[in-house]
Structure 1
C-alpha cells in the first residue's frame, strides 16, 4: 500500500518514515511539510493512506481531511498529534486511527495492522460481484473475471488467441467473415497456414470460455464466426450505458457519475495496441471527455475547484493537446489560489505543443493565462 506523510515538522516526518520503512508493509511515496502540498500531490498521484498531523499552520489536519475526502473518499487517514484531546474529533471525521507523538514502533505496528484489516474488508466489498458488474475489462488491458470475481486470473495460451477473443468481443453478437479475420490477424501468412492458425486460436478461445464457466460460445455459420455472450457484461458497455449521450450532473447523481468515470482505467485495449481498435478507442475517449468536463463544470460552479481538478487532471493526461481542457485546468488552479501550479501547467502545455506539434497555444488560452496571472499580482 502507498502512503504519504504530512507534517510541518521535518524531524517528525523522517521519524515516521523510518518507522514505516522498518515495518515494511506500507510504502511511503511522498513527504510534505504543508497540507496544501500533500493535497496537490493526491490530485496527481493516488495513495491509499495519509498520515496527517493535526496541528499545522495555514491549514490544520482536521480541515485537510475534508479536502482529502473530496479528492477520494476511499483514502484512509491516520492522524498524528501530540494532543490526545484531538482523538475524539479525529474519529468524528472518519479517521481510521490516531498516533500520539512521539510515535512508538509497537503502537505504529498496531495501526498498520488496523489499516491492513480495513483494506481487506474494503477489497472484499469491492470484489463482491453484483449482477451488472463487468465480467470483462477492456479499458487499458483485456482481463476476464473468474467465477469468484477476483479478476484477471485466466490466462491465454497465445497472444493470437487473446486477440481473436478481443475481436470477437469487439463485434459481440455480430457475425464476422472468416476472410476478414484472416486478413486482420495473419495478413502476411499464406492462406493454408493462416486457416490452421485460425482454427487453433478458435479452439483455444473455446477452451478459455469453458474454463471460465460463463454463458458464452463461439459460433460458426456460413464461413463466419461470432461470439454469443448475452450474459457477459464489459466495463465498456457499462460505461456507455451509464454515461448516455448528454450527462447532466446534479447533487443527486454526482457521486454516481464519479464512479462511472472510474470505470475508465485507461484507453480501450490500450496496452495491446491493436490497430483495429483505434477508432473505437477514440470514440470512447470522447465520451470520457464529455463526462469528465461535465463533472468538472459542476464542481467549479459550486466552488469545489479541488474536486474539479481531480477530473481535469485525468482528462489532460488522456488529451494533453486540448486547449479547452488546459483553460479549464488553469481556471481551477486560479480558483484555489494556486498560481504556482497554474504557471507550471501553462508552461508545460506550451512546451508540449511546441515540441511535439510545432504549435503555440491559441490566443484565447494565452489571454486567459495572462488575465489569471494578473489577478495574482
Structure 2
C-alpha cells in the first residue's frame, strides 16, 4: 500500500513518517511534501492509495488540497492530520476516511490505520475478482486497462479527442459506428475533410495507446476499420461495467449468506460510468448503473441495520454519502445510527453537513421530518 504525506513543517513530516513506519509495516511512503503543488504532481505520478494531509498550511489548506487530490485520483483514501478540532466537520464533509489530532497518538493512529487496511483490502479483492483470467477494460470511473495477473494501468492518451473516441467506440462495442456520426460528435464545427483527417489521426493514436499498454494483439483487442465506419472488437476482453452488473444480478436475494458477497461486489463499483470525463452521450448508461448501485447499497445498509450490525450499516451509509451527497436519506439514516451507537457528535456532524448541503448547494430547506427528529433528539438531552 502506497502513501504520501503532506505537511508544511518538516519536523511534523518526520514525526508522522516514524509513527507510520512503526505501526504499519506494509505501508510504503512514496512521497513527502511540504509544498501542496508538488503533492498534486506526486499524486498524478505515484498514484498512492492513501494521503495523510495537514489541514493548516500557509497559502492553501488541506481541505482544498484534499478536494484537488480526490479530483485527480477519485479512489484515494484521505486522512487529515490537524491541531484544530474545528476542521473536523469540514473533513467529514469531504468524506475523508478519518482525521487525527496533533500531536499524533499511537493508539489513535492504530485505529486509523486499521480503517485504511479494511478499506483497501475489500475493494482490491473485488476488483481483482472481476478480471478473472481475461483482459479487462475498466470504465467505472477513469478509463483503465488490466491484463490478467497484472495491476491496472491508466493509459496515456495523446489527445482528449482520441480518448473520447475510444470511449464512444467502447460504449458501442462490437458494432460499427458510422464515420459521419463520429465526425458530428467530435468535430461538429470543423470542415468535413479536415474533420476526417482528425478522425484518422485519432484512430492512429488509439492504436498506439493500446499497443503501449500491451492491450492490442496480446489481449485480442482490435480496432477494425470498415468501409464507412469503425468498430471496436474486444476479442476475449471484458468491460468491467458489464461484468459487474451481470454478477450483481446473479447474486440473487440479499440474506445472511449472501451479504458478504454483496458487499465485496459493491466495493468493485469504483466510480460512475466514464464519470471523470462527463461525456453527455454516456449519461443514460451512467444514470442507470449509478441508480442500480445506489438501490443495492441502500438494501445492504437496511439489511445491516435490521440485523443490528450498526457499524457495518454506518460504513455502507457513508459510502453512499461519499458518492451521492445529494441523497438526503443517507444523512438522516446516519443520524439515527449514530444516535443508536451513542455517538452524539456523529449526529451533530451529519445534521450540519446536511444543512450546509441543502441550504447552500440546493438553496432549499431540510425536510420537516428531519428537523423535528433533530429537535426532539436535542430536547431530550442528546440521549
TM-score normalised per structure 2: 0.67
Partner of 1:204: 205
Partner of 2:300: 295
Quick one: structure 1 residues 342 and 170, their matched pair in 2 at CA, closer, same or farther if it must change by over 3 Å?
A: same
Distance 2:313 2:13 in 1: 32
Q: Which moved more, 1:246-255 or 1:186-195?
A: 246-255
Q: How does 1:182-193 map to 2 (within 5 A)?
A: 182-193=183-194
Distance 1:271 1:279 in 2: 15
Distance 2:349 2:226 in 1: 58
Partner of 2:67: none
Select 2:368's aligned residue among 363, 372, 376.
363
Q: Does 1:226 align with 2:203?
A: no
Give how far 1:197 is off.
1.0
Distance 1:362 1:248 in 2: 32
Q: Does 1:239 align with 2:268?
A: no
Judge conservation of contact 1:248–1:294 (CA < 8 Å) in 2: no
Give how far 1:370 is off.
3.4
Paired residue secondary structure (1:161): helix
Distance 1:310 1:248 in 2: 21
Judge conservation of contact 1:146–1:153 (CA < 8 Å) in 2: no
Give how far 1:317 is off.
2.2
Select 2:359's aligned residue among 354, 357, 376.
354
Give how far 1:275 is off.
2.4
Quick one: structure 1 residues 144 and 45, their matched pair in 2 at CA, closer, same or farther if it must change by over 3 Å?
A: same
> Could you report, residue by residue, the CA deviation over 1:165-205 in whole angstroms, capped at 9, with x for unpaired residues?
11111111233222211111111111111111112222332
Paired residue secondary structure (2:190): coil
Partner of 1:20: 19
TM-score normalised per structure 1: 0.68
Partner of 2:350: 345
Quick one: structure 1 residues 349 and 247, their matched pair in 2 at CA, closer, same or farther if it must change by over 3 Å?
A: farther
Partner of 2:314: 309
Distance 2:17 2:286 in 1: 44
Partner of 1:135: 136
Paired residue secondary structure (1:317): helix
Q: How does 1:110-149 map to 2 (within 5 A)?
A: 131=132, 135-146=136-147, 149=150
Give how far 1:321 is off.
2.1
Partner of 1:177: 178
Question: Which structure's CA Rg is the greater one?
Answer: 1
Judge conservation of contact 1:136–1:144 (CA < 8 Å) in 2: yes
> Could you report, residue by residue, the CA deviation over 1:74-103 in whole angstroms, capped at 9, with x for unpaired residues?
49xxxxxxxxxxxxxxxxxxxxxxxxxxxx
Paired residue secondary structure (1:244): helix
Distance 1:361 1:307 in 2: 26
Give how far 1:228 is off.
1.8
Give how far 1:284 is off.
1.6
Quick one: structure 1 residues 260 and 361, their matched pair in 2 at CA, closer, same or farther if it must change by over 3 Å?
A: same
> Could you report, residue by residue, the CA deviation over 1:13-66 in whole angstroms, capped at 9, with x for unpaired residues?
99974733798954764679xxxx9xx98x95448xx9964xx9xxxx9xx79x
What residue ranges of structure 1 are gaps of 5+ in the alignment?
Answer: 5-12, 76-121
Give how far 1:329 is off.
1.9
> Could you report, residue by residue, the CA deviation over 1:129-176 in whole angstroms, capped at 9, with x for unpaired residues?
953666112122111124652221543333222211111111112332
Quick one: structure 1 residues 133 and 52, their matched pair in 2 at CA, closer, same or farther if it must change by over 3 Å?
A: farther
Quick one: structure 1 residues 126 and 157, their matched pair in 2 at CA, closer, same or farther if it must change by over 3 Å?
A: same
Partner of 1:165: 166
Distance 1:181 1:187 in 2: 9
Alignment RMSD (CA, Å): 4.1
Judge conservation of contact 1:139–1:236 (CA < 8 Å) in 2: yes
Judge conservation of contact 1:339–1:373 (CA < 8 Å) in 2: no
Partner of 1:268: 273
Paired residue secondary structure (2:298): helix
What residue ranges of structure 2 are gaps of 5+ in the alignment?
Answer: 6-11, 30-50, 53-78, 83-87, 99-103
Distance 1:123 1:304 in 2: 23
